[in-house]
Amino acid sequence: MLRRPSRTTVFTATATALSLLGDQALYALLPLYFQEIGLLPIQVGILLSANRWIRLFTNHLAERLVGRFPAHLMLAASLALGALLTAVYAVVSSFLILLIARCLWGLCWSFIRHIGVMGVAALSEPKDLGQMMGFYNGISRIGSVVGIVLGGILFDLFGFTTTLVVFCLCSFLAIPFALSSGIQSVGTRNTEWKERQLRSGQRALLICGFCIGSVGPGLLMSTLGFILLSRYGHEVDLFGILIGIATLNGLLLGCRWILDTLGAPFYGVLIDRVGLHIGAPLCFVTGVAVMLLLSMSNSLAALATGIIVFFMCGTALFTVVSAEASRRGSRIYARYATAGDLGAAFGPVIGWTAYELLDIPDLAFILGALLYTIGLLAALTAFKRQAPIDG
């Protein structure tokens, strides 16, 4: 049974949603626009992964600082800087400046995510943590839906610069929500576990986090637009309507965040009841099968269906594994988040490097299947049924 989310959860998630507009639009638009601003394919991969690389360091900086300073002020400052960076994407074409901006966004996101997730964990009962994390993820990902779907539509209508300027202005609206969220301090207390459970569980969380991040947020999101362009050209016939490939890419990528918004709370309820040891392997198996099917079919209907099913698996995995990590405490969550960021950082570089060397865009699906297979093996061998852990 779903419980009503708290005011803090709703306000913090709303602020997070508004902060994501420019970042998510960049994933949908830069793979289609990079040639116009003089970037190379490998530079696109670097830019779309740079914010993840820097978070390998800034996640732990955030974990240390949020326990010492007012969390709501640190959250507001991160949101303000993130909004300004969206304006940089809109007006700058220099690779070096864009790279610096992406690294600064990674710093901002480390604080936004850590304060948001640990704020929810601090206010939730252990037995309800899965669905509360689902509410937070679901509401916050509305920003990703808008950034990707509306970003693709605005790009086809008005262009790259106008789209990002609009999103920059909207992102500043996140600041009042952060200041009104009620979060003052999220703390840094870690749940005490038996040493054996800590070692085995943490290894599994890190491996699963890496695989989840590398395929969905990394590899697939950064290359799907180019795969569509390579397969179908600049326009496609969708139910008798001719639409631009940027709009189609935005719609498909937006499905991931729509599924997050609608499905994440229910996935959280499910994992609260059946446990990670069942849910994680099942989602990994389905993801592997879908990636292999996508690599073998050129049908637009099959691709769209497969992408949606894969995103369902990714949403469920992200919700339940991040809930498990936050349940174990601030420090372990920071390590898990870093593992996910490492995977998400490798994803675009792997995909675009493979294209640069082999000129096979569809190879991204094979690589995705291999990475999810690693995640499956980790889940099968390490996530065993365990007694409930008190918060």
Residue-wise pLDDT tens for the chain (391 aa)?
556 777 778 888 999 999 999 998 888 788 878 888 888 878 887 888 788 889 888 988 988 888 778 888 899 999 999 999 999 998 988 999 999 999 999 999 999 998 888 877 776 666 666 677 778 888 888 888 788 788 888 888 888 899 999 999 999 999 998 888 776 666 544 444 444 444 556 777 888 889 998 898 778 877 888 888 888 888 877 777 788 887 788 788 777 767 766 666 666 666 666 666 777 788 899 999 999 998 888 888 888 889 888 988 888 888 778 777 777 777 788 888 888 888 887 888 777 777 777 777 678 888 899 999 999 988 887 666 554 443 3
Q: Which helix (H) or strand (E) holds 237?
A: strand 235-238
Sorted by where each begins, the domain ranges of the chain are 7-382
Tell me how far apart the alpha carbons of residues 202 and 209 are, in angstroms, rounded to a whole number.
Answer: 10
pTM for the model stands at: 0.71
Residue written as token pair 């840094």: 188
Q: What are phi and psi of 188, to 5 degrees?
A: -135, 20
Superfamily designation of domain 7-382: MFS general substrate transporter like domains (1.20.1250.20)
8-state DSSP, 4: P
> Which tokens belong to 95?
């690779």
Task: Evaluate whether 323 touches 391 at the Cβ level (below 8 Å).
Answer: no
Task: Evaluate whether 328 touches 191 at the Cβ level (below 8 Å).
Answer: yes
Task: Evaluate whether 245 touches 266 at the Cβ level (below 8 Å).
Answer: no
Amino acid occupying residue 295: S
